[in-house]
Amino acid sequence: MLLLATGVLLSCKREQRQFEPPPSPAGNVVMSQLQPGAQRPEPPTQNPFEETAYGLSEGKRLFTQYNCSGCHANGGGSIGPPLMDEKWIYGSDPANIHSTILEGRPNGMPSFRYKIPDDQIWELSAYVRSLSGQIRKDIAPGRSDDMNVHRSEQRVEKKKPEQSFVPKGAEQP
Amino acid sequence: MTNSKRHILNGYGNGQRLLAVLLLITVSLTTSCGGGLQSALNPAGPQSQHISQLWWFMLIVCTVVFVVVLGVTLVLLVKKAQGSPDELPERESAESQRRKAFIVVAATAATIVILGAFLVDSFLVGRGLTAALDRKQGVVIEVTGHQWWWEVRYPDVDASSIFTTANEIHIPVGVPVTFTLKASDVIHSFWVPNLHGKKDLIPGKVSTIWLQADKPGIYRGQCAEYCGHQHAHMALWIFAEPREQFDEWRRNQIQSAVKPASDSEKRGQQVFLTSTCVTCHTINGTSAGANIGPNLTHVASRNTIAAATLPNDRDHLASWVDDSQQIKPGNRMPPNKFRPEEMQALLDYLQSLK
Amino acid sequence: MVERSQNLPVDAYTEADEREIKELERVWACPPGIIGWFTDTDHKAIALRYVVTAFVFFLFGGIEAALMRIQLARPENHFLNPDLYNQVFTVHGTTMMFLFAVPIMTALGVYLVPLMVGARDVAFPRLNNYGYFVYLIGGILLYVSFILNTGPDAGWFAYVPLSGPGYSPGKRVDIWAQMITFTEISALCGAVVVIGTIFKMRAPGMSLHRLPLFVWAQLVTSFMIIFAMPAVMLASSFLASDRLIDTHFFNPAEGGDAILYQHMFWFFGHPEVYIIFIPALGFISSIVTTFARRRIFGYTAMVLSLIATAFLGFGLWVHHMFATPLPQLGQSFFTAASMMIAIPSGVQIFCWIATMWGAKLNIKTPLLFVLGFVAIFVLGGLTGVMLASVPLDLQIHDTFFVVAHLHYVLIGGSVFPLFGAFYYWIPKWTGRMLSERLGHWNFWLMFIGFNLVFFPMHQLGLQGMPRRVYTYLPNGGWGSLNLLASIGALILALGVAVFIVNFLWARRFGLIANANPWNADTLEWSLASPPPDYNFYRIPVVEGSNALWDRSAENPVVVGLSSTKRETLVTSVVDAVPELRYELPGPSIWPLLLALATAETFIVGIFTAWAFAIGAVLTFGVFIGWFFGDPNYENVAAKEPPQSEEPHRAPEVLRAENA
């Protein structure tokens, strides 16, 4: 009974489905602190979607639909760096990944500002984290209905992120 | 309880029950009789016509059977014997049992005959529905079910004549149309009751259904297999038109999108191509080529939007683009907050895409 | 010669009899306190728990139905959002099919079968107890998760790929899949218990051709359960493993097949509805016999119809899949089978009508419900024959026509006879008669309300309204019929409320029932209302198909069963010749412990596959206690030294006036 209670209590947040995302203007993360006028508010560091299974499943769908696989393959990387390993060039925090997608990064990561709505960027960010096992197992998505390319995110072993800050092309030979 | 009192209560029981049943049948049937849009009883093609005939045959026979059984039950209630509830039952006479056995056997035989008739009729109608037909003059259409809209593709041997649209299908009257049905995600079901029964779209499998419209008209269909949040709002229209009209429509659909003429339309195209729209929708002739959402090349030529949920006019288009989650919560299109002048320009552009 | 009806002559007990009865009461007593409630193995207590629990789930399912009807009363209503509506209709179907219909039929079987066949308890009392706890846990699992927004939302049938890992995120469908396991284990336990009791524990003289039709119905149903339930356990387990451990059973991209799930589910799903329906046929035979005061016409035909329905029921499942791209010729086979199954049902109805024709009908509430059954079920059966035809089914499949059909056959074919059974047997279970006047109100409100809800749905389906939609557009013309259906739902709900009022009223003010208030023929009516814990002081020898009506003046009974142990008589399968005395286990904690081990396995198994390994170890441990422990460890009363040790003698049939 205790197991039952704990199991289902954990589900309170897991099963939330938010169809109406909070309105957010595109481009609310900036690269520089220098700006005229009042200070803009700090971007959130907590991913509002990380804790829901629906958000992660949406992130998985969007990963395919927006063709992230075109450069990152299914997480193993091709012309873009792999996403399922422990190396993080620009940081593994949800806000870092959100910023990567929104702003783009040097060496080929395009900016998706104005192209992908903000809540979807958060969903993608959560999904990317799940590729290396950073998300709780009962929330991470199961296998997709496609060809089996890697273990589903809920069975991936959690990797300890290494914040390397050195892009692949700049590493010492 | 005296005998007479029991009789009165019994009579009350019989009449009340019969009345209740008849009342229900009459009320229901008269409040909304037979035909209408999206009704299986309003056939517009040979398939639905045959099925409708099968339906009426079965309905009449089944009603007769029902009335007979109910009638016999009511009669036996009226004809019941009198006797004290405390007496032990007598055994029935052999004569009476033999008579009853004969009647039960006769009733069973009648049941078997009726079922046999149904079976034969059903089999013959079924054969007729799937009979191979000379399809040289026919049209082939590929429908792919998505959550929660219909992708419609008209293939052709000439690759430049292939085009894709969404949720609205045009077919020529009097010509067999073959639908090749696929599903991209979950199981859906293609169903246009005026024209034919339904066929499931199952991922990993290809189904085929052919139907024909015998008279021009607009027929509504709806997804008939639970497919998630917005299964209720996944409908489609079939426009059956005379051949010339169909050919003209088809020729228009093959064309690339209309180039924007006015400044507002040009601004609208710019808004389209520089915002989230371009990541999901295709407009042939522009750089927008994503196929996640419906093809918008000729969106203004369609009568409805959002899988036949909303009429295709400026106000509904505006509210759909602005916040489709209010109308179809859970659908795949995110809200898009545009500045008012951007929205007006975008609407001008979209409404020019005939 | 017409015999006078008579109850057992309880006033003719000697002093020795009185002492023996006292011993029996002590040995068969329910242990006291909370622990006593958990360890009690008396089949009557367990059955009443099943009935109460299943009825509570029925009310929950009814509330969900009411919510749906409120949402659908007007087009584009915003009473329930789509996510909640999808959970509500899924939980409604799941509750009604798995948590109400099958368990309550099991319940009536578990209560009445030992009494009707003349046994002191069921064949496997502890297994019976385990079955109840597993069912209770499964039901609680579903409802706790529903309250916490984790209720399943993929339909009660949960087709893949919608219910698969790609399109149903979270644990909603996993909870559904595991809840299935609980209810199926429970049903299987009930089936095994009933079959064992019926085959081996009948009173001497009750050969198979003298078995009451109620018992035949329970026997046939139990066999159906044994063959059908594993299919759905397999389907739901495959689904759970696809979701949890990345198997590809239903993934077409890796060689799996979405239609496989449909086959597996409906191979269970169709017999499931007959599992729900056939026990009700047993209720009707009992009620018709009693209230027509006549032996059922065509006993052999009735038994053969039951068996034929069960067999044919396994050959129909593809009629749920006529819209899939399966080959046409194969589908036509299932049309033929689906139509054929109307024949045994028809034979049964003709036989009942023949029984009642010209008989001395006693129009009481149970018989009213049976007459309601005739009207409603026949209509439902006829629409079923329509749905059996492939071309017609292609139009009306997955529309409100099917909703109408299934409710006509399930409510008309099972719930109405069930309510009749309640009015018939509640005097036996509780010792109080229900009010006839409230009973009539109950019936009429339910009958009228039911028809108002579901008859318009036939029309709605033909007019193109599909199932499982949370709303519909106003220009479709479906608004008025939907409103009518919603009003009818209110009336139907009132009818059920009247039943509850009647039941509560009768607890205080109902007429006290003697042993046989209806002057019925089966053996349970020879016992006090409610029966003593040990059921029969002396197991009677049955002399005809209608045990109490065919009883001779001699009234032979069996003597020699111990009153210092829980003992019952085991007889042969076909002719019920006494074979041996069988000691039954008494109250025991092991069923509860096993249920908890099962709960751990399947509930934690929603989150991790390791739960199965742990569960296996726990189960093994409990089995050791169960099988190697003292079966009467908790039965403290039985361990007291008996007052007088009777010489060990074989049971014999005693023919005497005052047995």
Q: Show the tokens assigned to B55.
A: 């339906």
pLDDT of residue B10: 42
Least confident of A33-37, B20-24, B26-30, C487-491: B26-30
Taking residues C323-350, report their average pLDDT: 93
A2 lies within 8 A of chain C by CB: no
Judge whether B40 and B52 are in contact, CB under 8 Å.
yes
Taking residues C386-399, report their average pLDDT: 95
CB interface of C with A, residues 325-384, below 8 Å: none
Q: How far is C376 from chain B (nearest CA, A)?
A: 10
- List chain B residues with CB under 8 Å of A66: 279
Q: What's the DSSP call for residue C209?
A: G
Taking residues B30-37, report their average pLDDT: 55
Per-residue 3-state assignment (H helix, E strand, C coil) for B221-274: EECCCCCCCCHHHCEEEEEEECHHHHHHHHHHHHCCCCCCCCHHHHHHHHHHHH
Taking residues C523-550, report their average pLDDT: 91
A126 SS3 class: helix
Taking residues A27-55, report their average pLDDT: 63
Model confidence at B23: pLDDT above 70: no
Binary contact (A117, B325; C-beta < 8 A): no
Least confident of C426-435, C611-620, C650-659: C650-659
Angle at the Cα of B48 (from B47 to B49), degrees rounded to 5? 90
- List chain C residues with CB under 8 Å of B123: 332, 335
If one compares C541 and A49, the residue with the highest pLDDT of the two is C541
Q: How many whole angstroms separate alpha carbon B108 and alpha carbon B110?
A: 5
pLDDT of residue A172: 61
* C6 — pLDDT class (breaks 50, 70, 90): very low
Judge whether B197 and C328 are in contact, CB under 8 Å.
no
Judge whether A160 and A81 are in contact, CB under 8 Å.
no
Q: Residues of chain C with pLDDT > 90: what percent?
A: 80
pLDDT of residue B129: 83
B279 lies within 8 A of chain A by CB: yes
Please tell me the CATH code under which domain B263-350 is placed: 2.60.40.420
Q: Domain B139-246, CATH 3.40.50.1820 — does that match?
A: no
pLDDT of residue A22: 66
> Hey, which of B136-150, B158-172, C622-636 has the most confident mean pLDDT?
B158-172
pLDDT of residue B3: 41
Q: How far is C312 from chain A (nearest CA, A)?
A: 36
Model confidence at B31: pLDDT above 60: no
CA dihedral A165, A169, A171, A172 (to 10 degrees): -160
Q: How many whole angstroms separate alpha carbon B338 and alpha carbon B271?
A: 9
- Return the CA Rg of chain B: 29
C172 lies within 8 A of chain A by CB: yes
CA dist list (Å): A169 to A172, B136, B201, C492: 9, 59, 47, 73
| Dihedrals phi, psi of B199, to nearest 5 degrees | -140, 135
Taking residues C605-616, report their average pLDDT: 93
Taking residues B42-63, report their average pLDDT: 94
Judge whether C314 and C141 are in contact, CB under 8 Å.
no
C579 SS3 class: strand
* A50 — pLDDT class (breaks 50, 70, 90): low
> How high does pLDDT run on average in chain C?
91
Q: Residues of chain A with pLDDT > 70: what percent?
A: 71
Judge whether C312 and C344 are in contact, CB under 8 Å.
yes
Q: How many whole angstroms separate alpha carbon C599 and alpha carbon A4?
A: 9
Taking residues C479-497, report their average pLDDT: 96
Q: How many whole angstroms separate alpha carbon A134 and alpha carbon A153?
A: 9
Q: How many whole angstroms separate alpha carbon C196 and alpha carbon C539?
A: 18
Binary contact (A145, B185; C-beta < 8 A): yes
Element (H, E) at C568: strand C567-571
How many interchain CB pairs under 8 A, A with C? Answer: 97
pLDDT of residue B16: 52
Domain map (residue ranges) of chain B: 1-29, 139-246, 263-350
pLDDT of residue C5: 30
pLDDT of residue C634: 53
First to last CA, chain A: 57
* C410 — pLDDT class (breaks 50, 70, 90): very high
Binary contact (C607, A138; C-beta < 8 A): yes
Query: Mind giving me the DSSP string for C9-32?
Result: -GGG--HHHHHHHHHHHHHHPPPS
* B8 — pLDDT class (breaks 50, 70, 90): very low
Model confidence at A166: pLDDT above 70: no
pLDDT of residue A15: 80
B270 lies within 8 A of chain C by CB: no
Interhelix angle for B94-130 vs C365-388, to 10°? 30
Q: How many whole angstroms separate alpha carbon C108 and alpha carbon C51?
A: 8
Model confidence at A44: pLDDT above 80: no
Residue C394: CA count within 13 A, CB half-sphere: 33
Least confident of A14-23, A90-99, A150-159: A14-23
First to last CA, chain C: 23
Q: Residues of chain B with pLDDT > 90: what percent?
A: 78
- List chain A residues with CB under 8 Å of C253: 145-148
In terms of Cβ atoms closer than 10 Å to its own Cβ (0-12, 13-18, 19+), residue C436 is middle
Element (H, E) at C620: helix C610-628
Q: How many whole angstroms separate alpha carbon B208 and alpha carbon B204?
A: 14
B partners (3+ CB pairs within 8 A) are A, C
Model confidence at B75: pLDDT above 70: yes
In terms of Cβ atoms closer than 10 Å to its own Cβ (0-12, 13-18, 19+), residue B320 is buried
Could you say which of C295, C351, C383 has the minimum Cβ distance to residue B104? C351
| Dihedrals phi, psi of A67, to nearest 5 degrees | 60, 35
> How high does pLDDT run on average in chain A?
81
Q: How many whole angstroms separate alpha carbon C213 and alpha carbon C336?
A: 28
Q: How many whole angstroms separate alpha carbon B148 and alpha carbon A144?
A: 19
